[in-house]
Amino acid sequence: MYAIAVEPGAGDPTVVEKPIPEPETGEALVRTLRVGVDGTDHEVISGAHGGVPDDEDHLVLGHEAVGVVEDPNGTDLEVGQLVVPTVRRPPNGTNHYFESGYPDMAPEGEYVERGIVGGHGFMAEYFTSPADYLVPIPESLASLGFLVEPISISEKAIEHAFASRSAFDWRPESAMVLGNGSLGLLTVAMLVETLEFDRTYCLGRRDRPDPTIDIIESLGATYVDSRETPVSEVPAVHERIDFIYEATGYAPHAFETIEALAPNGVGALLGVPSSWEFEIDGGALHEEFVLHNKALVGSVNSHRGHFESAIDTLSQLPESFTDDLVTGVYDLDSFQDAFVDDDTTIKTAVEFDTI
Amino acid sequence: MYAIAVEPGAGDPTVVEKPIPEPETGEALVRTLRVGVDGTDHEVISGAHGGVPDDEDHLVLGHEAVGVVEDPNGTDLEVGQLVVPTVRRPPNGTNHYFESGYPDMAPEGEYVERGIVGGHGFMAEYFTSPADYLVPIPESLASLGFLVEPISISEKAIEHAFASRSAFDWRPESAMVLGNGSLGLLTVAMLVETLEFDRTYCLGRRDRPDPTIDIIESLGATYVDSRETPVSEVPAVHERIDFIYEATGYAPHAFETIEALAPNGVGALLGVPSSWEFEIDGGALHEEFVLHNKALVGSVNSHRGHFESAIDTLSQLPESFTDDLVTGVYDLDSFQDAFVDDDTTIKTAVEFDTI
């Protein structure tokens, strides 16, 4: 079979030929339909993040997949069932994070991530996976199933952020997403369509006309240009925000979020920046944190429950939104186009097969 | 009657004579037994924090009180009932924070705090209060009832911090209190005695012999000298900490907490520093926040439910601990001694009357 792989740091991904994998006991064989591309893939390709499996010189990419069960191999799955695989797997044997159902809370070293670090991904014509890590999805979502994984990331972040506000009668009205990449836009859609915030904002640094600004506005959200209105000035220009979702990886945003939050508000941090020293008014931020009962919650990855919530969320997102979001689906012959990252590209996927 | 008051910023508190207050409808008249002194009182006295009520030139101090109902005035309370008053009151009329039972979540402007800002405190022979803000306590706690308010502050912070970890199977084992003031020591006792952390640390900057270090060690906790082991080096010298409670008001601690936390850990911030610019490795902190699912929660004040929990907690603290913690109880003639702040003073109170 064909797969799309990289030697991390070596540059562009290439097509490699590999044997069709054979499922072990408890695993099913899945025929891949589509696999999405996101910023993490670009970081893996550049070598900024991730790593090859032990004893391998390459990594098969892809962690946002949807496929069809080809061989249930004695598991409870059925031939033809549509599934989305979760991403984390135990590194050797298992550990209590996986046993308790919270692999997303495992610290480094206690997991591999398929397609990212230590485990081959799903950008191949077939992949195997323990059936426990394959989440069934309805056939109606086949073409968009590769969005389940990124949505699940936001399901988790939102769950954790809201949990931090569960000890009182929190009534958030305003939300802001920092970052207008595909994850940011999916989250704007969630905040507007399923969480029903009264007022939702999305911060970016793009000039009009721009397709991401068009999406933000067609959802009824407000675009905020960070070059005109830095995060710390959002309260003065717009309002103080109850829930802020950071998906830029721009480290000052993590700290400016404290200023931009409304009293009793919470910020979810999802970006993964590198070391960067800068000055903050730590005293004022600390005081603001305390006197206004604010919270910051870091969030990475997601567990099966978040995938199940994400399937429900995906089914509620308007078709007009997903049509605009997915700017390209490419077959194996033109797979490189799925990795182009320019201002007209929002979300792409590689298509290996159709249902 | 006599009361202890300040003109904020004017220097030392003085005894003033005032009429015994008359309870309005819904209010009871309380005969004061003891009122504790804490760091906030010192900030109010220095003028760093707080303010007099409208149309007044002085503020009666005191927000950590225990008293006896002298006149229920038609409320559900009974003559002779021991009570502890909560601190926050609505500024004018009411608002939804008070109506929903979460005055502790009200932002600035939506509350007054008795003895701190905008409302007279409880350091007087009598005070009045709406019965709803008087929490009954058992007679056995009469002499220590002034500790209920500070314990309630930690009850809230701990509730909010733990809520932030409620979306997964959190199993904290280690805790660290930053600060060995009276609130820090009360919190160490709670972590050891009622929350039963396996390993509890308390950070300070005192040389031995020192009474606070003796208390920390007699509770079975470990003293950490911040001059030898800064917060950021706690993981290297001791271990990464699941729950950190910051009560120093030293702003760098808020950010060093992110480094010292174990994966999936949470820091509760309670200090209230002033503006102070300094450099941080914001990129590394942001990354650590995200990749290890950490959380920071600011917390101020407490609501009636926290007072009720605090009464239960207080009844479980060992007498040997409270004996060591309370270093002086002074009557009105020597009330100045209760405001002395030196290395042999831990927790003091002014006694207005006995049961």
Higher-confidence position of B47 and B320 = B320
Mean pLDDT of A274-288: 96
- Element of type H or E holding A98: helix A96-99
Q: Do A280 and B281 touch (CB under 8 A)?
A: no
Higher-confidence position of A124 and B48 = A124
**For residue B95, what are its two tokens?**
């608002």
Domain residue spans in chain A? 2-136+318-351, 152-298
A182 annotated ligand binder: yes
Per-residue confidence at A92, pLDDT binned at 50, 70, 90? Answer: confident
pLDDT of residue B21: 98
Residue A235 has pLDDT above 70, yes or no: yes
The pLDDT tens digits of the residues spanning A137-163 come to 999 999 999 999 999 999 999 999 999
Arch. (CATH architecture) of B152-298: 3-Layer(aba) Sandwich (3.40)
> Is residue B105 less than 8 Å (CB to CB) from chain A?
yes
Would you say B201 and B241 are in contact if contact means Cβ atoms under 8 Å apart? Answer: yes
Q: Which of B111, B164, B241, B300 to mutate to test the interface with A (most CBs of A within 10 A)?
A: B164
Residue A274 has pLDDT above 70, yes or no: yes
Residue A355 has pLDDT above 90, yes or no: no
Closest CA relative to residue B252, chosen from B240, B260, B263:
B260
Q: Do B290 and A271 touch (CB under 8 A)?
A: yes
Q: Which of A40, A289, A292, A301 to mutate to test the interface with B (most CBs of B within 10 A)?
A: A289
Which residue has tokens 């089914």? A315
The pLDDT tens digits of the residues spanning B254-307 come to 999 999 999 999 999 999 999 999 999 999 999 999 999 999 999 999 999 999
pLDDT of residue B22: 98
- Element of type H or E holding A5: strand A2-6
Mean pLDDT of A56-85: 97
Report the mean per-residue pLDDT for chain B: 97
Spatial distance between the Cα atoms of B106 and A164, rounded to a whole number of angstroms: 17
Spatial distance between the Cα atoms of B239 and B258, rounded to a whole number of angstroms: 14
- Interfacial B residues in 65-94 facing A (CB < 8 Å): none
The pLDDT tens digits of the residues spanning A35-56 come to 999 999 999 999 888 899 999 9
A301 annotated ligand binder: yes
Q: Do domains A2-136+318-351 and A152-298 have the same CATH topology?
A: no
Residue A8 has pLDDT above 80, yes or no: no
Q: Tell me the CATH number of domain B2-136+318-351, given options 1.20.120.450, 3.30.70.3040, 2.30.110.10, 3.90.180.10.
A: 3.90.180.10
> Which of A73-77, A341-345, B275-279 shows the lowest mean pLDDT across its residues?
A341-345
> What proportion of chain B, given as a percentage, has pLDDT over 90?
95
List of residues 6+ apart from A303 with CB closer than 8 A: A86, A101, A102, A103, A104, A156
Pairing of strands A295-298, A82-85: unpaired
Binding site per annotation, positions of B: 40, 113, 149, 180-183, 205-206, 270-272, 299-301
Residue B9 has pLDDT above 70, yes or no: no
- Interfacial B residues in 233-252 facing A (CB < 8 Å): 249, 251-252
pLDDT of residue B300: 98
Mean pLDDT of A198-218: 98
pLDDT of residue A10: 74
Would you say B239 and A260 are in contact if contact means Cβ atoms under 8 Å apart? Answer: no
- As a three-state string, the secondary structure of chain B is CEEEEECCCCCCCEEEECCCCCCCCCEEEEEEEEEEECHHHHHHHHCCCCECCCCCCCEECCCEEEEEEEECCCCCCCCCCEEEECCEECCCCCCHHHHCCCHHHCCCCCCEEECCEEECCCCECEEEEEHHHEEECCHHHHHHHHHHHHHHHHHHHHHHHHHCCCCCCCCCCEEEEECCCHHHHHHHHHHHHCCCCCEEEEEECCCCCCHHHHHHHHCCCEEEECCCCCHHHHHHHCCCEEEEEECCCCHHHHHHHHHHEEEEEEEEECCCCCCCEEEEEHHHHHHHHHHCCCEEEECCCCCHHHHHHHHHHHHHCCHHHHHHHEEEEEEHHHHHHHHCCCCCCCEEEEECCCC
Would you say B261 and B294 are in contact if contact means Cβ atoms under 8 Å apart? Answer: yes
Residue B10 has pLDDT above 90, yes or no: no
Residue B8 has pLDDT above 80, yes or no: no
Pairing of strands A88-89, A326-331: unpaired
Spatial distance between the Cα atoms of A133 and B314, rounded to a whole number of angstroms: 47
**Secondary structure (3-state) at A117:** strand
Residue A9 has pLDDT above 70, yes or no: no
**E-assigned strand segments in A10-92:** 14-17, 27-37, 59-60, 64-71, 82-85, 88-89
**For residue B206, what are its two tokens?**
């005192």
Mean pLDDT of B102-118: 96
Per-residue confidence at B92, pLDDT binned at 50, 70, 90? Answer: confident
pLDDT of residue A11: 83
Q: Do A105 and B263 touch (CB under 8 A)?
A: yes
Report the complex ipTM.
Answer: 0.97
